[in-house]
Amino acid sequence: MQEVELKSVVDDLPLRRRRVEEAGGRLRFAGPMVDRYYRLEACPDEGAGRLRVRTYEAPAGGWTELTWKGGARLEHGYKVREELTTRVEDEAPLREILERTGFAESECLRREIAWYVFGDATLRFEQFPRMDLLLEVEGASEAIEHAIHATGIPREQFTAEPLKEFIRRFEARTGTSALLEWPVPAVRDSAAPRFS
């Protein structure tokens, strides 16, 4: 399966969400999303891809997915990569299986999201504890362009750059380090956007 995506910084969360909803976007999930990336302890990553355990946290109806992500490449201005995903019944045993078979957690990202389905595209607004508010749009290129238009965010603000470039720009502009994981148990800044 091919993942095709673009990202942008979001200027006004309530406005952009309202634009998507008025254009027919349906909210799929709002709340915390946690990504844990794993690598084999015995050997360095040599371009074989990454394993990710993603958990959508909700009092009722949350779920977990295991994903293999191939290396990203640029195609016609979009970020493209192979991706294989399956839903998992229980996160804790999955993480233990990974650790017992030689995988170690290498990175954890925790953010509040609002995830919309818009035609054949998905839009995910993401707020980290200390970082610009981001919007990731995925789908086929035509569906992505249609979804971007619905947000009202200028097309030229969307890029295929990886998250680390958005982090670099945020830190250069603000002079502060980005913070990509909420404390656990989650204690969130009252000024952070509410996604529910």
pLDDT digits over 53-80, tens only? 999 998 877 899 999 999 899 999 999 9
pTM confidence score: 0.88
Which pLDDT value is given to residue 190?
45
Q: Kindly report the average pLDDT of the chain as a whole number.
A: 90
pLDDT at 61: 79
User: Does 114 fall in a domain?
Assistant: yes
**Structural domains in the chain (count):** 1
DSSP bridge pairs for 124: 115, 136
Q: Does residue 189 have a pLDDT over 70?
A: no
Is 182 among the domain residues? Answer: no
Q: What is the CATH number of the domain that holds 163?
A: 2.40.320.10
Domain contains 192:
no
Mean pLDDT lowest among 111-125, 128-142, 179-193: 179-193
Is 150 or 104 the better-scoring residue by pLDDT?
150
Torsion angle of alpha carbons 69, 145, 14, 123, nearest 10°?
-30
Residue 185, in any domain of the structure? no
Domain extent, residue 36, equals: 2-174
Q: Is residue 157 part of a domain?
A: yes
Whole-number pLDDT of residue 188: 44
Task: Tell me what pLDDT residue 86 has.
Answer: 96
Residue 145 φ/ψ, nearest 5 degrees: -60, -40
> Tens of pLDDT along 135-160?
999 999 999 999 999 999 999 999 99
* Any domain includes 179: no
What pLDDT shows up at residue 43? 65
Average confidence (pLDDT) over 111-140: 97
pLDDT score of 163: 95
Q: How many CB atoms within 10 Å of residue 46?
A: 5
Q: Does a structural domain hold residue 59?
A: yes
Q: Does residue 193 lie within any of the structural domains?
A: no
3-state SS string over the chain?
Answer: CEEEEEEEECCCHHHHHHHHHHCCCEEEEEEEEEEEEEEECCCCCCCCCEEEEEEECCCCCCEEEEEEECCCEEECCEEEEEEEEEEECCHHHHHHHHHHCCEEEEEEEEEEEEEEEECCEEEEEEECCECCCEEEEECCHHHHHHHHHHHCCCHHHCECCCHHHHHHHHHHHHCCCCECCCCCCCCCCCCCCCCC
Structure tokens at 48: 């074989």
Non-local CB neighbours of 83 within 8 Å, separated by 6+ positions = 1, 2, 3, 67, 68, 69, 70
